Amino acid sequence: MISGVQAALTSLQAFATKLDNNGNNIANMSTDGFRRGRVLLAERPGGGVSAVAERVDQPGPLVATPTAAGYELVEQSSVDLGEEIPDMMLSARAYEANLKTLQAGEEMGRTLLDIRR
């Protein structure tokens, strides 16, 4: 049971990292030249989940922007809200599911203690 609790805890941390990354991407969506980040999840050798954050090296679209010297091409952000929102919703649900796992484990432990009394 401890390994199940440990797996749920590492999953909570991993999905919290993903949610933090989504929030950062959305917050910087209007920042010219911003490169979005992503979080990759992997299974740990002893069980559980690890999260690795990295920058995506994909440039944003170039847009002609008027300046005092005329028009210049400015790189926009590479964040796509159509990708960020569904990813954030999925991560939030996975976080909730792992939280429920911990709550169920706690309830089982309390029930076991009540039986032993």
pTM, full prediction: 0.82
Has residue 39 got a pLDDT over 60? Answer: yes
Residue 114: pLDDT band (50, 70, 90) is confident
Q: Residue 18, exposed/middle/buried by CB under 10 A (0-12, 13-18, 19+)?
A: buried
pLDDT, tens digit (0-9, with 9 covering 90-100), for 72-95: 999 999 999 999 999 999 999 999
pLDDT tens-place string over residues 43-59: 988 778 999 999 999 99
- Gap between the Cα atoms of 91 and 81, Å rounded: 15
Q: From CA 25, how far away is CA 4, in angstroms rounded? A: 31
Query: How, if at all, do strands 37-43 and 62-67 pair?
Result: unpaired
What H or E segment, with its residue span, contains residue 87? helix 81-116
pLDDT at 33 over 50: yes
